[in-house]
Amino acid sequence: MTHTLLAAEGALPAAGVAQSAWLLLALPLFGAAVLLLGGKATNKWGHLLGCATVILAFVYGLTLFLSTTSLKAADRIQELHLFSWIPVDSLSIDFGLRLDPLSLTFVLLITGVGSLIHVYSIGYMSHDTDRRKFFAYLNLFVAAMLLLVLGNGFVTLYFGWEGVGLASYLLIAFWQHKPAAATAAKKAFLMNRVGDVGLAVAIFLMWANLGTTQYTEVFAKIGTLDGGTVLAISLLLLLGACGKSGQFPLQAWLPDAMEGPTPVSALIHAATMVTAGVYLIARSNPIYDLTADGRLVVTIIGTVTLLIGCVIGCAYDDIKKVLAYSTVSQIGYMILGVGLGPVGYALGITHLLTHGFFKAGLFLGAGSVMHGMNDEVDMRQYGGLAKKMPITFATFGLGYLALIGFPFLSGFYSKDAIIEAAFGQEGWRGWVFGGAAMLGVALTAFYMTRLMLMTFFGEQRWKNLKSSDGRDYHPHESPAVMTVPMIILAVGSVFAGFLLTNGNFLANWLEPSLGELKEAGHPPLPAAAMTALSLGLMVVGVGLAWLFVGRKPVPVTKPERVSWVVRAARADLYGNKLNETLFAKPGEALTKGLVIADDKAVDGTVTGIAGALAFLSSRLRRTQTGFVRSYALTMLGGSVLVVAALLMVRFS
Amino acid sequence: MQEQFLAQAQQQVNAPDIAYGAIAPVLIVLGFACLSVLVEAFVAKERRWGLQIGVAAAAIVLAGASLAAFISSNDAAGGPTGKTGVTTLAGAVSVDKPALFLWGTLLALGVLALLLIADRTVGGDMQTEVFPLFLFALGGMMVFCAANNLLTMFIALEVLSLPLYLMCGLARKRRLISQEAAVKYFLLGAFASAFFLYGLALLYGYAGSVKLADIATAAVGTDRSDTLLFGGLGLLVVGLLFKGSVGPFHTWTPDVYQGAPTSVTAFMAACTKVAAFGGILRVLTVAFQSTQWEWRGVLWGVAIASMAIGAIFGLTQTDVKRMIAYSSVAHAGFLLVGAIAMNTDGLSSTLFYLLAYGFTTIASFGVISLVRSGSGEATDLSQWAGLAKRSPLLAGVFTFLLLALAGIPLTSGFIGKFVVFSAALRDGMAPLVVIALVFSAVAAFFYLRVVVLMYFSEPAEDGPTVSVPGAFTTVAITLGTFVTLLLGVLPGFVLNWASSGGFLS
Amino acid sequence: MTPTYYLLLSALLFSIGTIGVLVRRNAIVVFMCIELMLNAVNLTLVTFARVNGQLDGQVMAFFVMVVAAAEVVVGLAIIMSIFRTRRSASVDDSNLLKY
Amino acid sequence: MLEAFEAAAPSSGLDPYVPLVALFVLAAAFAVFSVAAAPLVGPRRYNKAKLDAYECGIEPSPQPIVGGGRMPVAYYLTAMLFILFDIEMVFLYPFAVTSDQLGFFGVVEIVLFIATVGFAYAYVWRRGGLDWN
């Protein structure tokens, strides 16, 4: 419990380089302000300013990181007090920054990946008349995200949390002339609100029970609460995490959010913002350490989500939606990881980092493909693009291999560690969570291979097609300003996993924040066997995908489906439409089921309540008749009730 | 009886001590109100408008200056936190920290409201009588917040109400609905003051005095029947809740807000609420703290009813002024949540909420007064469709203000709700806070409905024009919006001030 | 002397006034009923003053009378102005603002 | 509740008012008797003058549409002003009775009070409230 002790002792005041940490927030905020207030005057150089602020922030973050590594492990938690934000006698909220290994890790991820994506966007958005505004929103997002991870209390975190929500809303709806984009933005906004309520109530509970919301004090005092309250807080925090990170049952907004420009999908909806939930749980580790039940719920949510994401990913033909469900599923892994407690916090963060690299790379690759394909997203219209876009293919391929856990690439190290830790749980949990995570490996391999095959290999189906706006397809490689970030991310996808896990580098570095990484309990299988098993499953997934997609030409339109599993099994012998029947159909059915559940149960409840309230309202407002005498009667009735109630309370 | 008369006749009556410094702001406002009446009487018609604006502005500025002077001398007089305040006029008026805060709030909001009233380029089709009425009402509100006995409170209530009744009926353009608003407000207001007064009489019978402190003493130990106490408390509170437009005593609110001239509505919505809740806070804290376990449950119910009525009725409103009226009913419920949290946080958070709400509301009505069609203000929501395309700046400002009313972070509304709810939580009212959160979510629906309407609907063919605001209205809207933002980002200063001290009995 | 009877009488008058507000249509009569309520309160105040052996209640009754007079003036002015435009003093005719 | 009052109330004190009550009862009885008896015993002959709202010579204007007549607005205006200024006297009487004990401060206060009422009077006068037409 090293970290609890540290927390109890409180953090050290920031010194040296760390005293300028406010720059991290100020730089992107300055960029956003200049670009938004400057108006059209900044059109010419706005994108450059947008990139410059984030790159500067990255450089500063790197300096800060290096200066922190030179400190003793115990001195690595620093606090920078900025000003008293909300001081009322007993409610005093300071606005301060917490600079510790966990937040610095995120700073590097956000500004690093953020810089690359900013640069990429110069090319991607070059034809957009509103490019300046796009960069302003991106800068705003970076500032809010940094505030989220750097804040030294839950209220500051909440502030950043809402800020990234706002930026995400603005960016999803960036092309608001598309009705789908506007709807998706609204959906994201609403579903995030559900999670936010959970987070807000959790903060209220802390405030009510502990009288503080600063991390150091909350973590120091949390042990004094009874188990029920801690459980409630942990579940409410989890609800917040589910909303922001697209976890079951609040996952539906994330795929829709792909209506936004692709760099946004890469930065916000793959690498950074959606991982805020993981950050929240990891940051609150002293709370989760106290409640095994809370952690169990976290792991269950993570497991369910990772399976749902995989299964649905198998059914989509839209390249970005497949990647989006893949994100849902991978965050499921991370949530599963941090849900395991002290044996998993660091593993979840490790996977978060590697995923940040390869998923951002994959999205940028997908963006590059769309850039060359008239913004078409249907993979059935692609095919054989490898020759036309060699760099995109290479970088995308490396990201793909990293994602499915190909040996010695990033995903291999980070994902397997989580699977092993999951197997190490006691009793049935080990088998269930480990097994599910293992199954996920096969499914991931399947849908990603399907994506690769449909996009880059096979017949060049686009030759005989026109895009929906009537143009022919002329696929071409993207300009250097786009490919260079992709290459850098691809390099990261290859090496990050090894570098981070070699000698437990990341886990040791994070120890002051997350506590020591414990060894998983008693895995039922030896580690080598598990690695072999997961590799085997991966190969099976890849093989199946090749069998069902790679061998036969891919139909340009979705084929008619047979309706019975028996006929599907028979068709299997001919290898005919097997892809569709065995995987897509159940997947689709499941998807449809989930969509129906989503529409009918979740949306239904929301719209139902809204409808009921509107109906109630339209009826009740008729009671406001406009007759002054009926108003007087209402008042008299109210007065009689108030007086009668008072007398009843007194004399009963 | 006669003996008593004779007995009293022997004594020389001593004049009460008057702390002129403390009550100077009120004296200035009321004095200038009298001056304003004389201006009405003796100055030629064409020169009145400008002169009246000058008189009213001078009144507020001088009152503000004397308030600042008193606060600084008061702070200098006591220890590090300053003296708690002064009770003067034989205990009738108590100028303590909350009263000073409320006076400051009222004067600040008064400036904004005056700016809206004074702008003739958009709305100003009122007679010049509006200015003396405005000053009298403002003076009445200030006395109401500081009144330390129920009789003073009653007189102040009438001094603030009577001018407001008249101001509601001053519109010349939409005369019928304006007069209807006035007559409704007047009849219901008088009805409510009768309840207040009956409550006062019963409490007088209970405690033998109408001083709040004496009532508190009597409530601890007296042989009189508690029927008098609780009957009186109930009726008294009804009168106060009416002024604060708390449901179910809100019925006048939508009609009057809609019918009154928009600048008057702005003044009424912001300042009356401040005064009414100032009074509620003082009465509950000073006189009835010891009986809180009896009345608290009842006010829980009232708060819930108010939030529910405001949120649900507001959902389907088609007139923007009516919608803001129901929003004010919902906000009254939230305020009541803070007011019945009987601790220092409850007091300071409610004071903060009042200030924040006042600025946002006045700015909102300022915006509403700018959207006009041929027949005057276009308050029907259908006419607001697609307004963002026609006037992006106005729509942006209004969106921001609506978000503040909904309580979205980065606005004062969020901080206000946050501090009020956390104060209520600290006082163990978690269920009430949960209910309040639910209803604030429901209420957010109707604010967002307007935002969606402005941004995502096609503008109507014969839609309203957005008139170019005069300098006064521009200043009022800018100030209101700026304060809404400022308090959302840096609420520290105001929160500090609001929590600087409690009531003096 | 039994103050209870006076209190009951004043409560009765107050109730009559209240009911009058609810059932009468003519604005002036509604208004007179409100005045009746105020005067009922005056009776209560004076009774309590006697019970308590003080003069305060009677002084308060003076204040109430003055306030009531001011209310009369404001009320009549408003009712008269609406009567001039509408040619009707019925409160039920003022019914443009609703729902 | 009742006991408390009984205890607190002085036992005597109503005696001076008994004749007053008797007078009140007599007056009421006479009024009721007159109104009740008139239709029973009097002849029923109506003419225009008898149906007028007031029989003292002033023509109600405008002419009543149904039922009781309507007075010109000037009546109401004057009546309102009368009430207002009349009622203010309520403060002058107590002052007059106790002016000795109140001393100079009381004089200042009452002058301020009269001045305030005077402002209102000035307004009414300048705005033509006192002109009959």
Q: Minimal CA–CA distance to A323: which of A165, A439, A447?
A: A447
* Chain C residues within an 8 Å CB radius of B193: 71
Of A626, A632, A636, the CB nearest to C98: A626
Q: Which chains touch C (3 or more CB pairs under 8 A)?
A: A, B, D
For residue D115, the model assigns a pLDDT of 92
Q: Which residue of D has its CA nearest to B44?
A: D126
Q: Are A324 and A257 in contact (CB under 8 A)?
A: yes
For residue B253, the model assigns a pLDDT of 95
Same domain? For A476 and A554 the reply is no
**pLDDT of residue B151 exceeding 90:** yes
Q: Give chain A's largest Cα–Cα span.
A: 89
One digit per residue, the tens of pLDDT, for chain D of length 133 reads: 444 444 444 444 556 667 778 888 888 888 888 888 877 787 777 776 666 655 555 555 555 454 455 556 667 778 878 887 888 788 888 888 888 888 888 899 899 999 998 898 899 888 887 887 6
Question: Is C70 in the D-facing interface, judged by CB distances under 8 Å?
Answer: yes
Q: How far B231 CA sits from the closest chain D CA (Å)?
A: 13
Does the beta-carbon distance from C69 to D83 stay under 8 Å? Answer: yes
Q: In whole angstroms, what is the distance from residue A194 CA to residue A605 CA?
A: 13
Same domain? For A560 and A543 the reply is no
Q: Tell me if A353 is assigned to some domain.
A: yes
Domain residue extents for chain B = 17-498
Q: In whole angstroms, what is the distance from residue D18 CA to residue C76 CA?
A: 37
Same domain? For A513 and A483 the reply is yes
Where does a domain end: A503, A521, A549? A549
Give the mean model confidence (pLDDT) for residues C44-57: 91
Q: Tell me if A523 is assigned to some domain.
A: yes
Of C22, C96, C99, the CB nearest to A629: C22
Q: In whole angstroms, what is the distance from residue A434 CA to residue A647 CA?
A: 63
- Taking the whole predicted model, whether its pTM rises above 0.80 is answered as no
Domain of A567? 550-616
Question: Is C49 in the D-facing interface, judged by CB distances under 8 Å?
Answer: no
Helix (H) or strand (E) holding A95: strand A92-99
**pLDDT of residue B211 exceeding 90:** yes
**pLDDT of residue B172 exceeding 90:** no
Same domain? For A445 and A491 the reply is yes
Same domain? For A543 and A574 the reply is no
Domain count, chain A: 3
Q: In whole angstroms, what is the distance from residue B50 CA to residue A219 CA?
A: 62
Same domain? For A350 and A417 the reply is yes
| Confidence band, pLDDT 50/70/90 cuts, at residue A6 | very low
Q: Tell me if A515 is assigned to some domain.
A: yes
DSSP string, B450-501: HHHHHHHSPPPTTPPEEPPPPHHHHHHHHHHHHHHHHHHH--HHHHHHHTS-
Does the beta-carbon distance from C66 to D13 stay under 8 Å? Answer: no
A189 burial level (CB within 10 Å; 0-12, 13-18, 19+) = middle
Where does a domain end: A534, A549, A564? A549
Does the beta-carbon distance from A613 to B408 stay under 8 Å? Answer: no
DSSP string, B191-253: HHHHHHHHHHHHHHHHHSS-BHHHHHHHHHS-SS-HHHHHHHHHHHHHHHHHHTT-TTS-THH
Q: Tell me if A560 is assigned to some domain.
A: yes
In chain C, the N- to C-terminal Cα span, in Å, equals 51
Same domain? For A467 and A589 the reply is no
* A165-187 pLDDT, tens digit each: 888 888 888 887 777 888 778 77
For residue A601, the model assigns a pLDDT of 66
Question: Is C15 in the B-facing interface, judged by CB distances under 8 Å?
Answer: no
* C15-41 pLDDT, tens digit each: 999 999 988 888 888 989 999 999 999
Does the beta-carbon distance from C76 to D8 stay under 8 Å? Answer: no
Give the mean model confidence (pLDDT) for residues B262-286: 94
Identify the weakest region by mean pLDDT among A149-163, A529-543, D32-46: D32-46
Where does a domain end: A549, A572, A603? A549
Q: Minimal CA–CA distance to D123: which of B43, B31, C69, C77?
A: B43
Domain residue extents for chain C = 25-86
Of B181, B183, B259, the CB nearest to C79: B183
Same domain? For A335 and A416 the reply is yes
* A54-72 pLDDT, tens digit each: 999 999 998 888 888 887 7
Q: Are B502 and B97 in contact (CB under 8 A)?
A: yes
pLDDT over 70, % of chain B: 95
| Confidence band, pLDDT 50/70/90 cuts, at residue A7 | very low
- Structure-token pair, residue A178: 């598309």
| Confidence band, pLDDT 50/70/90 cuts, at residue A570 | very low
Same domain? For A486 and A354 the reply is yes
For residue A604, the model assigns a pLDDT of 67
Domains of chain D: 7-126 (1.20.58.1610)
Place of tokens 């449950």: B297
**pLDDT of residue A427 exceeding 80:** no
